[in-house]
Amino acid sequence: EQEINAFTPANAADLEQYRIRFLGAKGIVKALAGEMKNVPAEERKEAGIMLNAFRQLAEAHYERYAHMGNAGKESDRKGDISLPGYPMPAGTRHPLRMVENEIVSIFEKLGFSVATGPEIEDDWHNFTSLNMPEHHTARDMQDTFYVQQNPDLVLRTHTSSVQARILETQPLPVRVICPGRVYRNETISARAHCFFHQCEGLYVDKNVSFADLKQTLYHFVTEMFGPDTKVRFRPSYFPFTEPSAEMDISCTVCGGNGCNLCKHSGWVEILGCGMVHPELLRNFDIDPEVYSGFAFGMGVERITQIKFQVNDLRLYSQNDVRFLRQFSSV
Ligand code: PHE
């Protein structure tokens, strides 16, 4: 059966070889039928069923390419249009795309709109305008790919570059969610990749407070991971936010009982966030005395890992259908 399934004729001669080997007068099907008389009576019925199935497979496979044998004879090539078509299994959505869609739709319901930006970005939008001037040590946090030795062009290291583009062009207030691919010069392993995906959120208006940030993110995780999910904020540092925090959620995989994902701590980190730095607002001619905002950025691979327990980043980009098909029913 394996041989049959693997067989693809290159031309009519190939197909004829196949027919002789499996279906010919001295072919395998005939030979097996001849063996039937040697099968003990009590097993004969079952053997007959198997042989029949095998013959049908061999014939169906032949029929599939039979038009090749008639190449040149236009009238014979038309085929029987009343025959059912060959099954064409539908593809499945990539798990990262499914999770990205879910993240975006949770924020859309809160009034955020979707914004995207270029993956090849200039220094200003990726770094300088975000309060990461040249020689700022924070640039070392993100191992950067430069484009063709041009120090002004980078593969964006985070989707915060879209924040910069939005503040530059959109009238206030703004409330956007920015999904996209980002790049960092890291050695590929189960835990790091040279590209991954982020979702950035940005909200700038009058009177936006840290309480708004907390409540918005709390709403997000309960929608994403269920109503019992708890959150915890830890002080952190990002050049573009002040104050800055990292947010953990209670581990939804082990329910706090200890697993590899939360390293037995009961908590998993899912995003960085904070209040938009006043200096950054000034870079875009926004008066920080009048306006304030919050921003957050999360890794889509991370959220997917928690949701589906995918623990090797490489699986996402290997295009192994055995991996991808596992998400067909999600
Ligand atoms: N851009 C940060 C990163 O890639 C995440 C972040 C976004 C943090 C917005 C704070 C606010 O690590």
Which amino acids bring their CB within 6 angstroms of ligand 1? 158, 160, 200, 238, 241, 272-274, 295-297
| Best of 238, 246, 302 for a ligand 1 pocket test (most atoms within 8 Å of beta carbon) | 238
**Distance, CA 79 to ligand 1 centroid (Å)?**
59
Nearest residue by C-alpha to atom 2 in ligand 1? 297
The answer to whether the annotation marks 74 as part of a ligand binding site is no
Q: Can you list the alpha helix ranges (DSSP code H) found in 37-177? A: 41-69, 74-77, 95-109, 123-126, 160-169
**Predicted local confidence at residue 148, as pLDDT:** 79
Q: Beta partners for 295?
A: 202, 274
Nearest residue by C-alpha to atom 4 in ligand 1? 158
**Distance, CA 256 to ligand 1 centroid (Å)?**
26
CA distance 179 to 142: 18
Q: Where are the beta strands (DSSP E) in 94-218?
A: 113-114, 120-122, 146-147, 150-155, 174-183, 195-205
Instruction: Give the residue-averaged pLDDT of 168-197.
Output: 95
| Range with lowest mean pLDDT among 41-45, 124-128, 142-146, 177-181 | 142-146
**Distance, CA 163 to ligand 1 centroid (Å)?**
10
**Predicted local confidence at residue 50, as pLDDT:** 92
Share of the chain above pLDDT 70, in %: 97
Count Cβ atoms below 10 Å from residue 80 Cβ, excluding itself: 6
pLDDT digits (tens, 9 = 90+) for 38-90: 999 899 999 999 999 999 999 988 888 877 765 544 444 567 778 888 878 77
| Range with lowest mean pLDDT among 77-91, 119-133, 194-208, 241-255 | 77-91
**Distance, CA 25 to ligand 1 centroid (Å)?**
71
Q: Beta partners for 174?
A: 204
pLDDT digits (tens, 9 = 90+) for 277-324: 999 999 999 999 999 999 999 999 999 999 999 989 999 999 999 999
| Best of 107, 155, 160 for a ligand 1 pocket test (most atoms within 8 Å of beta carbon) | 160
User: What is the signed CA dihedral for 263, 267, 272, 276, rounded to 10 degrees?
Assistant: -150
**Distance, CA 54 to ligand 1 centroid (Å)?**
59
pLDDT digits (tens, 9 = 90+) for 149-161: 788 899 999 999 9
Q: Is the pTM of this model over 0.95?
A: no
Q: What are phi and psi of 9, to 5 degrees?
A: -70, 140
Q: Beta partners for 231?
A: 249
